[in-house]
Amino acid sequence: MKTKKIIFNNTLFAFFICTILVISGYRSVIAQTGKQIKWLRVGSLHSWYLNWGSEIELGRTGQAREQQDGLRWPAQFRNQDTEVGKAIWIGTKDYEDRNGKTYPHKVIAAGPRECDEKYQLIPVEFKMLGRFYSPKVHVDGLPATDNELNDVVDAIDPNLKPDRMIVNKLNSYIGITVTRKIMAFAQQNHDNYFIYEYVFKNTGVVDINGNTDPKTLNDVIFHFQYRYGFGLDAFRKNWAPSNNINWGRNCVNQVVGIGPNKGDFDFRAQYSWYGIHSKSPVDDWGCPNPKDGSLAAVQYTGNVILHADTSPHDPTDDVKQPSTTMYIGSDCPATKGSDQFNSTLMDARYALMAAGHPGKTHADEVGDGFADQWGTDPGGYTHGQGFGPYTLEPGDSIRIVIAEGVSGISRQKSVEVGNNWYQHHANIGEPVLILPDGQTTTDEDEYKRLWVQTGEDSLFQTFRRAITNFKNDYKIPQPPPPPNTFEVNSGGDRITLSWSNNAETWEYFDGYDIYRAVGKPDTLYEKIFSCNKSDVVNVYEDKTARRGFDYYYYIQSKDDGSQNDINPGIPLVSSKFYTMTNQPAYLRRPGGKSLSEIRVVPNPYNIRASSLQFGVDAPDRLAFFGLPPECTIKIFTERGDLVDTIEHTDGTGDELWHSMTSSGQIIVSGVYIAYFEVPRDYRDSNGNLLFRKGDNITRKFVIIR
């Protein structure tokens, strides 16, 4: 009986293990197809990316209020998103599937609204590479950077040319494997665009299990859609002329360098801007707030073609691509649904993909009219961009490279222009209105419009810089890296900033600049400190901070200006987004004047109420308040064992402790004794003796876990 029992149990064990392996294998397949999101946020342009191959509408949060979500520029300010949704469609003619059914047009789609990540474009790989990890940024000992959650690098490659690169690989039902690489650059002349490199290869892999059905694919077209929208700040703050700006009803779309507006441009591009809206009570260029002149829509957003293979056997750039630049109704039936067996839907999609170039672009059709009143589509109009048709035999591939950027007048200029426009419009002042060409005007609407329209030239400059970067194989000069660590500590009469010295080994390193914002992080920053290589330091004390105000900081490493590829002599600097703090520092209470003022907070400490004490971000924190400006704090158990020693030296009356022993262990429940001793004689600013060396006091406190 005993032997049989062992055999039976071993059989059950083997069955159990096999079951786990089967379930684990099943889950690994599902895990590949679940939604995953990564951010690129190292430069002035921030955006999120989806492992499904395209950033579909509401794809990140699912919230209609966040329909404008992504392509955020300038990214340090809130509500600057210009992306509504995107799509990638891959179509071919006369496709016979494995079941023997032939479709006149077979179109695999991801977006603009829906994705079928199991049976159309199937995620295989999704990772982010970086040249280095983001710095550790702390304010008063706690993590204080958005990068902690949103700049998650999977692997480091110190030889990587961009600062960050997302690699996204997908198989598709028709046997084309898509590899897209999305590159972000932090260097200040190249930080407002991303470069997308697509390789479409006929691998024959047709399903989630890796089964193959190799065949030649005819008349293959690779199609992208870009639905942009502007004025999110006005929508969020309730001065928008209508809520339909949120989904781009008044978006204006232009094409240059190809099609009807080929002209003499040295690039092929599609781009968009905020079109004037019929419901605005004032001239609507820039989407101004009628009550104060704030401008919500100064961005120009678009993409430029860097390369498109002529054929699978000719990798030279085909200047006739894209072959389609037709604008598309954003809410037309072909943009909805995700059914790869619906022939009617796929026929309609392929027709859009192969539509060619319109007789007039959308922007030329709208002209000087109200953008929201042109056309019949309630959602406005979207860029359509088709490459091909190509014939792909098994093993063939096509490479397409596109840069997408956002630009416009700077935030500082936007504030200036909006304020000047408002003062003239409201007759509360008459500032001199200087136009971009240096002339003056008394027409505030003309003044505002011409300044906003300079964003088009700024975007063209962005396109040309992306082209140069691509042609140079992404070998742009790099600034020194940011400090690996950046610490900001609040004090009683100063805020102390300190940072690591890793950047100082950079060949052209020439010091640091520190910037500060008051009250909130999404505002304009002021430079408060600068040093060069000759007088380099790694600590700065901000003694100009005032009590009662919150302060935010960032530090930039800089070079000597000799490497700047665009503006020689101007230093290249590390991105501010590596070190920008998202938590405030502030002047703390001044040091106490008597040891009797010292208290332990909370006392007792109860882990069950930790979130009510110092918040969920600091569940183990205790504070010692009313301290002398300098003292040594020793913490003992009730029986006299030394737990930790803290040197309080920042001149304030506050010290925080995270309930940890000197060996890094969280302390257990019990009664503890804190011993405070003054290390030297200490006098106030008038010379009066407050504390003598050796003065001391004890306090008991209780920990309940």
The answer, yes or no, to whether residue 457 has pLDDT greater than 60, is yes
Name beta bridge partners: 303: 270, 404
- Using alpha carbons, list the distances in angstroms from residue 358 to 262, 323, 333: 12, 11, 20
133 φ, ψ (degrees, to nearest 5): -75, 155
Q: What is the pLDDT of residue 174?
A: 96
* Residue listed under structure tokens 């262990």: 665
pLDDT class of 619 with cuts at 50, 70, 90: confident
Find out whether 603 and 639 touch, Cβ atoms under 8 Å: no
Q: What is the pLDDT of residue 615?
A: 52
Distance (Å, rounded) from C-alpha 358 to C-alpha 336? 22
Phi-psi label, residue 196: left if phi above 0, alpha if psi -120 to 50, beta otherwise: beta
DSSP 153: -
Distance (Å, rounded) from C-alpha 228 to C-alpha 302? 9
1-20 residue pLDDT tens: 333 333 334 433 333 333 33
3-state secondary structure of 570: coil
Find out whether 300 and 460 touch, Cβ atoms under 8 Å: no
CATH top-level class of 485-578: mainly beta
55-71 residue pLDDT tens: 999 999 999 889 999 99
52 φ, ψ (degrees, to nearest 5): -80, 0
Question: Closest by alpha carbon to 700, among 631, 599, 557?
Answer: 599
* Residue listed under structure tokens 């950033």: 55
> What angle do the packed helices 444-471 and 411-425 form, to 10 degrees?
170
295-341 residue pLDDT tens: 999 999 999 999 999 999 999 999 999 999 999 999 999 999 888 99
Which of 232-246, 504-518, 676-690 is least confident?
A: 676-690
The answer, yes or no, to whether residue 628 has pLDDT greater than 80, is yes
* Residue listed under structure tokens 């590829």: 565
* Selected residue with higher pLDDT from 287 and 686: 287
Find out whether 651 and 696 touch, Cβ atoms under 8 Å: no
195-226 residue pLDDT tens: 999 999 999 999 999 999 999 999 999 999 99
Cα angle vertex 524, ends 70, 271, to 5°?
35
| Residue 129 CB neighbour total at 10 angstroms | 18
Alpha-helical regions (H) of 563-646 = 610-613
249-284 residue pLDDT tens: 999 999 999 999 999 999 999 999 999 999 999 999
pLDDT class of 33 with cuts at 50, 70, 90: low
Q: What is the pLDDT of residue 16?
A: 35
Expressed in angstroms, the distance from the first to the final Cα of the chain is: 50
99-155 residue pLDDT tens: 899 999 999 999 999 999 898 999 999 999 999 999 999 999 899 999 999 999 999
429 φ, ψ (degrees, to nearest 5): 175, 160
Find out whether 500 and 474 touch, Cβ atoms under 8 Å: no
Average pLDDT on 472-499 reads 94
- Using alpha carbons, list the distances in angstroms from residue 93 to 102, 433, 474, 671, 672: 9, 58, 36, 79, 78
The pair of three-digit structure tokens given for residue 322, joined into one six-digit string:
């894209």
Q: What is the pLDDT of residue 32?
A: 53
Distance (Å, rounded) from C-alpha 61 to C-alpha 534? 49
What's the chain's average pLDDT?
Answer: 92
The answer, yes or no, to whether residue 604 has pLDDT greater than 50, is yes
Q: Which CATH number fits domain 595-704: 2.60.120.260, 2.60.40.4070, 1.10.10.10, 3.40.1710.10?
A: 2.60.40.4070
Question: Closest by alpha carbon to 259, among 327, 309, 208?
Answer: 327
3-state secondary structure of 424: helix
Handedness of CA 18, 22, 24, 25 (dihedral sign): positive
Q: How many CA atoms lie within 13 A of 16 on its CB side?
A: 6
- Using alpha carbons, list the distances in angstroms from residue 404 to 83, 193, 363, 510, 655: 11, 5, 19, 32, 48
Distance (Å, rounded) from C-alpha 98 to C-alpha 479? 53
The domain locations on the chain are 1-33, 38-133+152-407, 411-456, 485-578, 595-704
Average pLDDT on 548-576 reads 95
* Selected residue with higher pLDDT from 611 and 41: 41
How far out from the chain centre does Cα 227 lie?
18
Q: What is the pLDDT of residue 621?
A: 81
Distance (Å, rounded) from C-alpha 240 to C-alpha 65? 14
Q: Do domains 485-578 and 595-704 have the same CATH topology?
A: yes
Name all contacts of 264-270 with Cβ < 8 Å and 24+ positions apart: 266/464, 267/304, 267/305, 267/460, 267/463, 267/464, 267/467, 268/304, 268/305, 268/319, 268/321, 268/322, 269/302, 269/303, 269/304, 269/305, 269/460, 269/463, 270/226, 270/302, 270/303, 270/325, 270/383, 270/385
Cα angle vertex 145, ends 139, 146, to 5°?
155
Find out whether 279 and 370 touch, Cβ atoms under 8 Å: no
The pair of three-digit structure tokens given for residue 165, joined into one six-digit string:
């690169």
Q: What is the pLDDT of residue 684?
A: 83
Average pLDDT on 343-353 reads 97
Q: What is the pLDDT of residue 611?
A: 56
Q: What is the pLDDT of residue 20?
A: 35
Helix or strand run (H / E) with residue 353 = helix 343-353
Distance (Å, rounded) from C-alpha 222 to C-alpha 144? 42
Q: What is the pLDDT of residue 492?
A: 78
Distance (Å, rounded) from C-alpha 353 to C-alpha 223? 6
Which residue type sits at 58? L
The answer, yes or no, to whether residue 586 has pLDDT greater than 80, is yes
Average pLDDT on 439-454 reads 97
